[in-house]
């Protein structure tokens, strides 16, 4: 698979946008402080617990189906958050939905890469997605700053964030989860497979 596609499988611009301004946006639109405080407390808890949930689903369903679901949820949040802020309960639910999406994106990619690229290369290639995470963290505050001069700055910010999720969808379409990209006969790969299985690596007596 093209390395550019790998990089953008963890493109979390919208998620970082909401992490940066979700509280302030809710506050200026009349969402109760106690509700925002509770949402903040629950955010990390929901994020962590959701990883168990996504891991369970990954055993039952294909990776692409799960990542498509996560990305569609992100797009829905991006295009609706501005309009539902007056409905406090739904607004808090959508904030927590972002936590669930972040947990899903960060938890199902790593085992999928190991399955496709093997135990030897999988973790190294997964590191490429760190580029998109760093880029997301950078673009979030930048977009907020650029949109601040507009009257409907939060609307534009959320819509752009939701639109950028399309980049992740394109990367996902290009991703082939059924193609095994490593050679079972590779000695280094075989050794790691044996070690992970807690068995003795067979030594060639002719060496």
DSSP annotation string for 74-139 = HHHHHHHHHHHTTSHHHHHHHHHHHHHHHHHHHHHHHHHHHHHHHHHHHHHHHTTHHHHHHHHHHH
Q: What is the mean pLDDT of residues 111-118?
A: 78
**pLDDT value of position 151:** 67
Question: Is pLDDT larger for residue 156 or for residue 144?
Answer: 156
Question: Which has more confidence, 42 or 144?
Answer: 42
Task: Give the model's pLDDT for residue 5.
Answer: 61
Q: What is the pTM of this model?
A: 0.76
Residue 6 parent element (H or E): helix 3-7
Q: What is the residue-averaged pLDDT of the chain? A: 79
Q: What is the pLDDT of residue 180?
A: 60
pLDDT at 127: 75
pLDDT at 88 (0 to 100): 93
Q: How confident is the model at residue 186 (pLDDT cuts 50, 70, 90)?
A: low
With bands split at pLDDT 50, 70 and 90, how would you rate the model's confidence at 201? very low
Q: Using alpha carbons, select from 195, 167, 183, 192 the residue that is nearest to residue 74.
A: 167
> What is the DSSP secondary-structure string of 21-36?
HHHHHHHHTT--HHHH
pLDDT tens digit string along 92-103? 999 999 999 988
pLDDT of res. 19 = 79
Which stretch of 14-23, 81-90, 177-186 has the lowest confidence by average pLDDT? 177-186
């Amino acid at each position: 698979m093209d390395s550019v596609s790998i990089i953008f499988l963890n493109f979390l611009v919208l998620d970082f946008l909401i992490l940066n301004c979700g509280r302030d946006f809710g506050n200026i639109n009349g969402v109760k402080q106690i509700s925002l405080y509770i949402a903040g407390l629950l955010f990390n808890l929901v994020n962590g617990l959701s990883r168990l949930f996504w891991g369970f689903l990954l055993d039952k369903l294909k990776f692409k189906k799960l990542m498509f679901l996560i990305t569609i949820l992100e797009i829905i949040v991006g295009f609706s958050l501005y309009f539902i802020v007056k409905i406090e309960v739904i607004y808090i639910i959508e904030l927590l939905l972002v936590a669930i999406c972040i947990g899903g994106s960060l938890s199902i990619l790593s085992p999928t890469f190991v399955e496709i690229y093997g135990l030897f290369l999988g973790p190294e290639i997964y590191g490429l997605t760190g580029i998109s995470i760093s880029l997301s963290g950078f673009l979030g505050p930048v977009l907020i700053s650029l949109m601040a001069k507009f009257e409907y700055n939060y609307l534009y910010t959320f819509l752009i964030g939701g639109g950028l999720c399309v980049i992740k969808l394109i990367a996902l379409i290009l991703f082939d989860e059924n193609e095994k990209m490593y050679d079972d006969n590779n000695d280094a790969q075989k050794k790691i497979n044996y070690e992970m299985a807690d068995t003795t690596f067979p030594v060639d007596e002719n060496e």
